[in-house]
Every structure is written in C-alpha cells, then in structure tokens.
Amino acid sequence: MPNIKSAKKRVLVIKKKTLINQMHKTALKTAIRKFNEAVEAKNVDEAKVLFNNAVSKLDKSVKHGILHKNAAARKKSQLAIKLAKIDA
C-alpha cells in the first residue's frame, strides 16, 4: 500500500477506471454474443440490427482505449463475414 498521498489517489483512480473498463468489455461481449445467437438462429433481420449495435460498441471501445483499433477491425470483419453467410 502506498504511503504518498498522490500514490494513494492513483490507486483509487485506477480502481475506478478498471471497473468502468470491465463494464464496457462486458457490454461489448454481450452484444457480440447476442449477434452470434441471432446468426445461429438464422434470424437475418435481428442479426442486422445486432450487428450494427456490436459494431457501434466496438468503435466506442476503441475510442475509450479499451480495444486496439486493429483488434476491433478484425472483430468487425469476422462479424460481417458471419452476417454475409446467413444473408446470402
């Protein structure tokens, strides 16, 4: 445990930011999981809506520094491929 006042404050700030990051990651994973469930059920209309939601959450994760931009691009590409397979 730190003794210096500024170091103590940094510990508190890091805890708060960690919780926020976990919240964003959980919401992102949930959006992707719901999209995958819609794809497995071959529900095209719902999958398109959920795809847009998942892509939005991926972009926001990059903006907030939770994901690297290339990782988000890769995930978006994988989701788009899945959507195209059931749409065809």
The one-letter amino acid code at 71 reads A
CATH number at residue 54: 1.20.58.110
Closest CA to 36 of 50, 22, 23: 50
Q: For 30-47, what is each residue's pLDDT tens digit?
A: 999 999 999 999 999 999
Q: Would you say how long the chain is, in residues? A: 88
Range of the domain at 58: 5-87
Per the structure, how many domains does the chain have? 1
pTM: 0.86
| The pLDDT of residue 1 | 82
Q: What band does 87 get if pLDDT is binned at 50, 70 and 90?
A: confident
Give the chain's end-to-end CA distance (angstroms, integer). Answer: 58
Pair of tokens at residue 12? 């508190």
**pLDDT for 29:** 97
